[in-house]
Structure 1
Amino acid sequence: MTENLITRRALRINQHPGIPLYLFALEAGEVDLVADVARISRDEAGKLLGYQRPEKKQHVKQILEYLDGDEVLFPNGLILALPSSVRFRGSRGPKPSDGLATIGMLEIPLPESREAPRPALIVDGQQRSLALARTRNAKLPITVAGFVSEDLHVQREQFLRVNTVSPLPSDLVSELLPEVNTQLPTKLSSRKLPAILVNALSQDGDSPFKGLIKQASTTASRKSETVVKDNSLLQAITASLSPSGVLFPYKDLSSGTIDTSTIRKILVVYWTAVRDTFPDAWGISPNKSRLMHGVGIRSMGQLMDRVMERVMFEVDINSDEAYSKVMAELALVEPYCRWTKGRWPEINYNWNELENITKHINILSNYLIRIYQKARMGAA
């Protein structure tokens, strides 16, 4: 290693025509010189940055204890996204390649100072990398697979694929999915549209949920303000995208097209009316309001299918009448709701006894829909 360059013998794997892939080794103490952790966060404009979850201190401690021991065998390698500034020189000789891989020397430029950004980003192995940076066995050779791409979309896609077997936190996956533009495994692909919609509701200025949804990128200083868990809203939207839901007609399964604009409009109009129907229960901790709790979000999501089906039969969702019509429909159930105090009629639960479990969600959903339908029959 020179002052501003690490040179390592490497294999270039002939895998992707446009993205070079290299296998090589670094000393444990060099990992911190070469690679940064791309923490998930958002900038002031709301743009998503990075993709890595927070450090797991206990996990890092356990790895470090092993690395600091004697006779360490550590085959668990790292996956790095390398910059385009790396250089590979194939070895000379009669057979530098066997058709699968080419042997040569890989040059990785280093930053000019410890404070400057590192040239590479860690796609897989961030907890291991943190332990490697602290181990006393700084000369321990570590296996590395590095692909050359500075495109965050490519890095996020690889990050999600690598972590399919050992599941990532659902909030992290949900926040990353809207940023991945390539084809995803079926399981992840089905979750992308709800994730896009939740992300829009969290960020858009006309959304009643703006600033209220707790996501993986939510900073510690803002966690008290984010009172709605993204997973509750994701599940509510996913249910409404099913064949029995009000959002389903806007997915054309034959062509694969989705009217995201109309779906988003339905969600904004409905939940804005929910906010304005129950202003005292909106935007506060779920410990103080079951409307902001998972049981409230999921149950009101099921009521949305009934309310919006009727509203959209009568008026255009983009008209000025749509909001007023939803407010009138929600007024039919408003007197029977006990989001912040009291006891729910008929179902005999105190307001704070309802939890985000299937039984309570079904009980409350059934009650709200039943009250709504009875009130509609009376109004007719």
Structure 2
Amino acid sequence: MPRKRNPVLRKAALRVEQNGRHPLYLMSLTARELHAVADISRINRDDSGTLLGYQRGEVRRHVRDIVEYLDGDDVLFPNSIIISLTSRVRFEPGHGACGSDGASTGTICIPLPGDGEARPGWIVDGQQRALALMQSKRADWPVPVNAFIADEVSLQRDQFLRVNNTKPLPRGLICELLPEVSGPLPRKLAGRRLPSSLCDLLDRERSSPFRGLIRRTSQADRQAKSTVVADASLIMMLEESIGTPAGCLFPYHNISTGECDLDGIWSILVAYWSAVRESFPEAWGKPPSRSRLMHGTGIRAMGRLMDRVMAGFHPGERNLRKRIEQELRPVVPICRWTSGRWEELQLEWREIQNVPQHLRLLSNLLVRAYLRGRGGAA
């Protein structure tokens, strides 16, 4: 018996030639039609740790506000929704449709999925608006839609980051997406790509002392409960060490060309933070509420100490971790990560907070203790 063909959604569209491989279409869809052809691809990881999707989770309050507006009177909704469609989509040019300005009119033919089949599209921008439209009384109301053809998830992620570049995307979501984007990025995002990639390695590589401890946006709730270090804290520590001349990772990254000695950086990070883990076993791997070493200020302050300690080492040296442990010995007695009082700071251990003043005070204290132990000026 021949297989039943899936229905096809046919819509009038304007095709704009910007990129020969990825044509752009301008059209209108109702919320029901949009829901039929496009998924919201929320960020998550598969069992092997591979990143899937790229969207942030639903923001209920934002959606509710949009629904209230849509259900009101005299509504105007000019904001377009951007979707990515697979190459299964066809375009039928209209008669005499070709224009000299790179645009042509016609009909876009979008195959609708059968039972158990994936939809041919993904919402790249406008997730909250699409959800609100479906929940409003205007689910059959036409709204502007921009669509581009791309089978590659990497291109969809690239466009997602660019579209949301000036919007308040969660920092953790950006951190996870940046290593997956291979194309050129805006300057402020390009500077975060290497730290974000290193954070990804620290989370997954077996040799990493942080393996399984880093809290990521893509984690399920049950996984998040077993993680204790915010990825944003690690990335800020890495950004500071890579991006400032005083950082121990700065010499391993050529800012002008983007080239870096990843092996050298990795050796330094694994050796130093493994030595930190061995030096403070009672504080390692605990939630920040029980250990300020795993707290954002603790991670960043120990990162600034890393810049001092590792300035005297080469990543290829023998017994590197053991030698770093010896360097950290003068610092260990003054630390109050899990109990007691930081005497020089006049703060109880729980009072260390994620504020610039506490970061500065704690960093200076650790560096002074280290220099005193080496016989240097405090």
TM-score, with structure 1 as normaliser: 0.94
Matches within 5 A, 1:1-380: 4-93=7-96, 96-113=98-115, 115-241=116-242, 242-253=244-255, 255-312=257-314, 317-377=315-375
The one-letter code matched in structure 2 to 1:342 is G
Mean alpha-carbon deviation: is it higher for 159-168 or for 177-186?
159-168
Bigger mean CA offset, 150-159 vs 249-258: 249-258
Asked if the contact 2:22–2:149 (Cα under 8 Å) also holds between the matched residues in 1, the reply is yes
| Identical columns (%) | 47
Unaligned stretches of 5+ in structure 1?
none
Task: Give the Å deviation of 1:191.
Answer: 0.9
Shift of residue 249, structure 1, vs aligned partner: 0.7
1:99 deviates by: 1.9
| 1:31 and 1:133 in contact (8 A); partners too | no
Of 79-88 and 319-328, the range deviating more from structure 2 = 319-328
Secondary structure of residue in 2 paired with 1:263: helix
- Structure 2 counterpart SS, 1:138: coil
| Deviation, structure 1 residue 28 | 1.8
Letter of the structure 2 residue corresponding to residue 62 of structure 1: D
- CA-based RMSD: 1.5
SS at match of 2:290: coil
TM-score normalised over the length of structure 2: 0.95
Mean CA deviation greater in 145-154 or 214-223: 214-223
Q: Match of 2:342, SS?
A: coil
State the shift of 1:270 in Å. Answer: 0.7
The DSSP-based 3-state class of the residue aligned with 1:279 is coil
* Paired letter, 2:137: R
TM-superposed CA distance for 1:216, in Å, is 1.3
User: Whole-Å Cα distance in 1 between the matches of residues 205 and 297 of structure 2?
Assistant: 24
Q: 1:239 & 1:359 partners in 2: Cα distance?
A: 17
How far is 1:52 from its partner? 0.4
Q: How many residues align?
A: 371
**Residue deviations 1:118-164, cap 9 Å, x none?**
11000000111112222222220011100000111111111011111
- Which segments of 5 or more consecutive residues in structure 2 lack a partner in the other structure? none
Q: Distance in 2 between matches of 1:374 and 1:64?
A: 62
Note if contact 2:6-2:113 (Cα within 8 Å) is conserved in structure 1.
no
Give the aligned residue type for 1:191: R
Q: Are the counterparts in 1 of residues 98 and 105 from structure 2 also a CA contact under 8 Å?
A: yes
